[in-house]
Amino acid sequence: MNYESFFQTKVDDLKREGRYRVFADLERCAGQFPRARRFRADGRIQDVTVWCSNDYLGMGQHPAVLAAMTEAIERCGAGAGGTRNISGTNHYHVVLERELADLHGKAAALVFTSGYVSNQATLSTLGRMLPNCVIFSDALNHNSMIEGIRHSGAEKHIFRHNDVAHLDELLGRADPTRPKIVAFESVYSMDGDIAPIGAICDVAERHGALTYLDEVHAVGMYGPRGGGIAERDRMMHRLTVIEGTLAKAFGVVGGYIAASAATIDFVRSFAPGFIFTSAMAPSVAAGAVASIRHLKGSGIERVRLHERAQRLKRVLGEAGLPVMASESHIVPVKVGDAHFCKHASDRLLDEHAIYVQPINYPTVPRGEERLRFTATPFHSDEHMAALAAAMTETWKALGLPLISTRHPAAAE
């Protein structure tokens, strides 16, 4: 086989479909978020405004987080030095797990190297080890959950997105004696809609299923202490496992689960994705502790995030841009075509110094291609006005349809 030509053909297919991913070469500027420096292919350096960061609250540059990380490096050095079992557990990991258990009102927590790994490792272990397990998975679940479920080898049923009646129907058809897992997310990050956690727990409890909730796009941002949508909805106690990330609102990197002591001990003891990998750097754990502690006690960032997101939806909507309905802080603007989506993103970056990554298939279904904006507490009214002007120019330049926003009664 000609391996090189096989690889090249596959990549060329992506380019033809407009789905080839080009990474923006950026340097984030601490203290100046959402500003970044872009290293262009032509050798020039360009100042850009980042509009698609998942550092939702700007905690990645919070002074308390930076100070904690610097101090931890000075105390412990750079790496963890091993897997958690073989010399890699550092006191910062232990403190972080206590902090996370407390955040979610659970007895224990377990930290992984990323949110992706936490989903993949936990779901594959639960599905593989619970005897004759059957898993019920929301149709829009993240790839990390899908891969974990697939890897478990367990029987899987997909329920229509956020459709509790369909979940109930599927659970009702399963053998009542078999162990069951219902896996879903709270905030779905591409559409910005939110799961009916209470109703899903009702159904799961009725059928004796355990519940697994991914709160990756909610932790830090919802709930009185940043415990996520389940905290906001007073549902944390009803969920068997709550999973989250340290890489988005908490501004660092890593993932975790929080659950009962027995559940955590089980995953800790049997999940290869936890056992056979080096522990996260102690400085990262220290930064995460500082970030979580700060957001437990401070609601200012959350209030400002939601105010900014609401304003952005309004500003873009008033400019006639096709803002998609979203119940959360996510602001998606529909393009509906992979090539146009890429062109719009390129033009915004090259001509307007605005960085927003195109979201194409398979992240969203074909025909649902979009630009996905995240307004953080650090995006000002001026940033928003500049974005609306740049988007309008781009939409016109590419011949994309704008929505008429003028009310007939207001006609001159």
Q: Which distant-in-sequence residues (6+ apart) come within 8 Å of 124 by Cβ?
A: 147, 148, 149, 151, 152, 271, 273
Select from 88, 227, 255, 282 the one that contacts ligand PLP (CB under 6 A). 255
- Residue 126 or 216 with smaller CB distance to ligand PLP: 216
Query: Considering 180, 248, 313, 342, which one is annotated as catalytic?
Result: 248
For ligand PLP, which residue has the nearest CB?
115
User: Please, what is the minimum distance in Å from the beta carbon of residue 397 to ligand PLP?
Assistant: 31
Choose one: 56-64, 69-77, 214-222, 397-405; the region binding ligand PLP (CB under 6 A). 214-222
User: How crowded is residue 117: how many other Cβ atoms within 10 Å of its Cβ?
Assistant: 18
Q: Answer whether 233's CB lies under 8 Å from 80's CB.
A: no
Spatial CA neighbour of 178 closest among 212, 135, 140:
135
User: How crowded is residue 391: how many other Cβ atoms within 10 Å of its Cβ?
Assistant: 27
Q: Using the rule CB under 6 A, which residue among 65, 109, 167, 216 binds ligand PLP?
A: 216
# binding residues, ligand PLP (CB under 6 A) = 14
Work out whether 116 is an interface residue with ligand PLP (CB under 6 A): yes
Maximal CA-CA distance, the chain:
75
Handedness of CA 257, 258, 262, 268 (dihedral sign): positive
Residue 52 CA: distances (Å) to CA of 5, 248, 337, 374, 390: 34, 12, 19, 5, 15
Task: Kindly tell me which residue out of 185, 193, 233, 369 binds ligand PLP, with binding defined by CB under 6 A.
Answer: 185
Q: How far apart, in whole angstroms, are the C-alpha atoms of residue 295 and residue 306?
A: 15
154: its two tokens: 């367990």
248 is an active site residue = yes
Q: How far is the CB of 184 from ligand PLP (least distance, A)?
A: 10
Phi, psi of 373 (to 5 degrees): -100, 145
CB of 187 to ligand PLP, least distance (A): 8
Q: How far is the CB of 124 from ligand PLP (least distance, A)?
A: 14
Q: Please report how close the Cβ of residue 371 comes to ligand PLP at its closest, in angstroms.
A: 17
Question: Which segment (131-139, 153-161, 213-221, 318-326) binds ligand PLP by CB under 6 A?
Answer: 213-221
Binding mask 68-107 for ligand PLP (x = CB under 6 A): ----------------------------------------
Residue selected from 53, 120, 124, 144 as contacting ligand PLP according to rule CB under 6 A = 144
Of 298-357, binders to ligand PLP (CB under 6 A) are none
Of the candidate residues 90, 124, 152, 189, the single one contacting ligand PLP (CB under 6 A): 189
How many angstroms from the chain centroid is the CA of residue 202?
Answer: 25
Supply the DSSP symbol for 88. Answer: I
Q: Choose which of 115, 227, 228, 251 interacts with ligand PLP (CB under 6 A).
A: 115
Site for ligand PLP in 1-30 (CB under 6 A): none
Residue 144 or 394 having the CB closest to ligand PLP: 144
Backbone Cα Rg of the chain: 22
Locate 310 and state its tokens: 């609401």
Structure tokens at 385: 């006005």
How far is the C-alpha of 366 from the C-alpha of 313, rounded, in Å? 23
| Residues labelled catalytic | 248
Interacting residue ranges for ligand PLP, rule: CB under 6 A: 114-116, 119, 142, 144, 185, 189, 214, 216-217, 245, 247, 255
